[in-house]
């Protein structure tokens, strides 16, 4: 319950009049048990990381996804997995947003007419800016770092003022607001949707968790031999 996305997963269905189905860790890791819960509880919408969706997609029960809404986020959604899920699901949404902006900041609906995996456009009360190193806006089609502004921004990192100052910068577009530097490399298409291109650093994500490769490298170098 301390994981950031628990706020969205618990409260959003409840305030919309839906029920929340909780499963234990063992069930979440077992595709057969998880599919059984989905059918038994008559689940209509499921949110998970691509890692979990890959596990479910490789199970024979995948056709049971028909009519159900699929929400995918936490890490990059592979194109082949998106095709597999969209072919059977009632709807497939690619969701994007870091913890520092209260989980989700953008969404994109994939279907037969829009099969490419994109970050899409901003949610309400959220601003997405593609900027260069001088915090100047970049034109359509030009790659740059994604900065996020709006009501969802965190105040900063607890007891880490230097890191807060590095990642939460003054909004150059006025009103004393701030922007969060995501470290994600994107470009904006002519239709307004954002396309994810990669990271500007070595950070990777595994099952939704951020992994800093530099920290792993430092630990390895500290080992004798």
Share of the chain above pLDDT 70, in %: 100
Average pLDDT across the chain, whole number: 93
Locate 203 and state its tokens: 């950070």
The per-residue pLDDT for 201 is 84
Q: What is the pLDDT of residue 133?
A: 94
Complete domains list, the chain, with CATH: 1-96 (3.40.50.980), 124-225 (2.30.38.10)
User: Could you read off the pLDDT of 162-198 as tens digits, one per residue?
Assistant: 999 999 999 999 778 999 999 999 999 999 999 999 8
Residues near 47 by beta carbon (within 8 Å), at least 6 away in sequence:
5, 9, 71, 72, 73, 95
pLDDT digit string (tens) for 8-56? Answer: 889 989 999 999 999 999 999 999 999 999 999 999 999 999 999 999 9
pLDDT at 113 over 90: no
Q: Region 49-78: what's the mean pLDDT? A: 94
Which own/partner pairs from 63-72 qualify as long-range (CB within 8 Å, at least 24 positions apart)? 63/88, 64/35, 64/38, 64/39, 65/89, 65/90, 66/90, 68/38, 68/43, 68/44, 69/44, 69/45, 69/93, 70/45, 70/46, 71/45, 71/46, 71/47, 71/95, 72/47, 72/48
User: Average pLDDT, stretch 203-225?
Assistant: 88
Would the pLDDT of 102 be above 90? no
pLDDT for res 7: 84
């Amino acid at each position: 319950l301390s994981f950031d996305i628990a706020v969205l997963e618990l409260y959003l269905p409840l305030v919309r009049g839906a029920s929340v189905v909780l499963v234990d860790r063992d069930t979440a890791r077992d595709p057969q048990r998880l599919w059984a819960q989905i059918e038994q509880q008559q689940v209509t919408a499921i949110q998970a990381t691509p890692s979990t969706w890959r596990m479910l997609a490789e199970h024979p029960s995948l056709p049971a996804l028909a009519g159900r809404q699929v929400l995918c986020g936490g890490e990059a959604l592979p194109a082949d997995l998106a095709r597999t899920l969209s072919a059977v699901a009632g709807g497939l949404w690619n969701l994007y947003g870091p913890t520092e902006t209260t989980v989700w900041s953008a969404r994109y609906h994939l279907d037969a007419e829009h099969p490419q995996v994109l970050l899409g456009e901003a949610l309400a009360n959220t601003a997405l800016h593609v900027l260069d190193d001088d915090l100047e806006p970049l034109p359509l089609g030009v790659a740059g770092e994604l900065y996020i502004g709006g009501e969802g921004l965190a105040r900063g990192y607890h007891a880490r003022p230097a890191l807060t100052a590095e990642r939460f910068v003054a909004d150059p577009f006025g009103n004393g607001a701030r922007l969060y530097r995501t470290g994600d490399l994107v470009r904006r298409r002519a239709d307004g949707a954002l396309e994810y291109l990669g990271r500007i650093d070595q950070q990777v994500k595994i099952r939704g968790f951020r992994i800093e490769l530099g920290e792993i490298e430092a630990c390895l170098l500290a080992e004798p031999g």
